[in-house]
């Protein structure tokens, strides 16, 4: 929350306008989703909920290009504490299927937005979707990570050069874990399951739909350039 005394005049006017709109929507007595779009200025994630916002853009506009998508998505690190059920950080719409990225890059895009608990707003032409686009946008396990009832946003766990690991807590004690390779070459990535809180874990690759290991210790996997391996990790019985 931003105290009134910490705002300059322009910010105070902006905040007052959004608050007035929120009050008007609430006064209708109808369920209305209130989306704030001022491109992340004035640290909107700190006060968007105070004006009854349900989601707020945290960045400028996305483009259907891997560098821009990656800059926006990975730039959400540190914002998880400002999200909760009914109040979401919004890194802009999905570009999946618009043709500017490869299927591998679009899976990265969809995976990262799901870990961020971001609104999944399809920005492509739904009447001309390819099978690849349809498979990415309708993967039930990925959507379930985004819409998990715990309502927690994921965040960066570690970064080593171009290799990043992100995790999102899920209802029931499981976690979604994304292994991201932002480099232009394939890479082998490793995650210590014990650090994530699972000395013995079941690990499921949600894009392939396969349970890939139930062993203790460290999980290693090859990740393609600009790619991701998205896992659902739970404590083994």
> Which residue range forms the structural domain that includes residue 37?
4-146
Domain end, chosen from 146, 174, 195, is at 146
Residue 19 CB neighbour total at 10 angstroms: 15
Q: Indicate whether 139 and 174 sit together in one domain.
A: no
Per-residue pLDDT tens digits for 102-121? 999 999 999 999 999 999 99
Residue-level pLDDT at 3: 52
Q: String of b and e for 173-212 (b: at least 16 CB within 10 Å)?
A: ebbbbbbbbbeeeebebebebeebebeebbbbbbbeeeee
- Summarize pLDDT for 5-61 with one digit per residue, the tens: 556 788 888 889 999 999 999 999 999 999 999 898 889 999 999 999 999 999 999
Same domain, 95 and 10: yes
Assign residue 111 the CATH number of its domain.
3.20.20.70
Q: How many domains does the chain have?
A: 2
Of 146, 180, 201, the position where a domain reaches its end is 146
pTM (predicted TM-score): 0.93
Residue-level pLDDT at 200: 79
Tell whether 91 and 170 lie within a shared domain: no
Residues 64 and 125 in one domain: yes
Burial bucket for residue 235 (CB in 10 Å: 0-12, 13-18, 19+): middle
Percent with pLDDT over 70 in the chain:
95
Neighbours of 217 (CB within 10 A): 13
Same domain flag for 94 and 165: no
Same domain flag for 27 and 105: yes
Of 117, 146, 175, the last residue of a domain is 146
- Which residue is associated with the tokens 């483009």? 63
Is the model's pLDDT at 218 over the cut of 80?
yes
Q: Work out the pLDDT band at 199, boundaries 50, 70, 90.
A: confident
Segment 92-108 mean pLDDT = 98
Whether 2 has a pLDDT exceeding 70, the answer reads no
pLDDT of residue 4: 47
Find, among 197, 188, 206, the residue nearest to 235 by Cα: 197
């Amino acid at each position: 929350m931003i105290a009134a005394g910490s705002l300059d005049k322009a910010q105070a006017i902006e905040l007052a306008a959004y608050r007035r709109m929120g009050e008007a929507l609430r006064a209708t007595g109808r369920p209305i989703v209130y989306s704030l779009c001022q491109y992340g200025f004035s640290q909107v994630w700190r006060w968007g909920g105070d004006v009854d916002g349900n989601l707020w853009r945290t960045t400028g506009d996305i483009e259907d290009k891997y560098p821009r998508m990656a800059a926006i998505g990975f730039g959400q690190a540190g914002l998880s504490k400002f999200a909760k059920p009914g109040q979401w950080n919004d890194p802009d719409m999905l570009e999946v299927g618009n043709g500017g990225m490869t299927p591998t890059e679009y899976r990265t895009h969809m995976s990262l937005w799901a870990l961020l608990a971001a609104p999944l707003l399809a920005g492509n032409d739904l009447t001309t979707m390819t099978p690849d686009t349809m498979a990415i946008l309708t993967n039930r396990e990925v959507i379930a990570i985004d819409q998990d009832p715990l309502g927690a946003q994921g965040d960066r766990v570690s970064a080593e050069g171009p290799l990043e690991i992100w995790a999102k807590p899920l209802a029931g004690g499981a976690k979604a874990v994304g292994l991201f390779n932002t480099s232009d070459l394939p890479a082998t990535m490793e995650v210590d399951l014990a650090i994530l809180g699972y000395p013995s874990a079941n690990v499921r690759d949600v894009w392939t739909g396969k349970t890939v290991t139930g062993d203790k210790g460290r999980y290693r996997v090859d990740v393609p350039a600009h790619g991701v391996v998205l896992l659902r990790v739970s404590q083994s019985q």
